[in-house]
Amino acid sequence: DRRREALAAGSPVQPIIKDVGEIYSRLLDHRPVIQGEIRYFVKEFEEKRGLRELRVLENLKSTISETNEHVLPKCEQAMHDGLSEAFERLQAANGTIQRLQEREHEERKLQMDKLMAREEKRVALSEEFMKEQQNKRAEVDEEHRKAMERLKEQYSEMEKELAKYVSF
């Protein structure tokens, strides 16, 4: 802008440029008007809202201090009492569950011992049965062998007798 003014200072165009600058500042430069409006708004806001906001903040402060002094300790005490009672109940329940688990474990152990005793007895009976079967089989085999020998003797005697008759 200063260059333009320096160049136009000695020319007849200078009054025209000056008039255009004034027209521009009046029509297009809104900064002074906007700044005035902002100052007015801030002043009105501070006067009208300032006291209301202070009252709201004072009310909040009193509510917070009352809560900290009275309500919070009551809540803490109630929570402590409730949690203590709940903790005691949980401990009692835990003890009961442990006793039940021990009983169940003992019952399972007894059942397993009974089952093992039955299994041992069954194995012993099975072995005894198998030995008995072996002995019976041996007896049957012996009887069969003796019967076979008798039959062999009987057939050999029959052959001898038959051989006597064949010679006729």
Model pLDDT for residues 81-125, shown as the tens digit of each residue: 889 999 999 999 999 999 999 999 999 999 999 999 999 999 999
Give Cα separations from 31 to 27, 38, 44 (angstroms): 11, 10, 20
Per the rule left: phi > 0, alpha: psi between -120 and 50, beta: everything else, 29 is beta
3 state SS of 143: helix
Q: Which residues of the chain have pLDDT under 50?
A: none
Residue 131 lies in a domain: yes
- What is the pLDDT at residue 14? 72
Give me the long-range contacts of 64-67 (CB less than 8 A, separation at least 24): none
pLDDT, residue 50, reads: 62
pLDDT at 7: 53
The closest alpha carbon to 71, from 107, 15, 79, belongs to 79
Q: Which domain holds residue 125?
A: 50-167
Asked if residue 15 is part of any domain, the answer here is no
* Structural domain total, the chain: 1
In a domain, 54, yes or no: yes
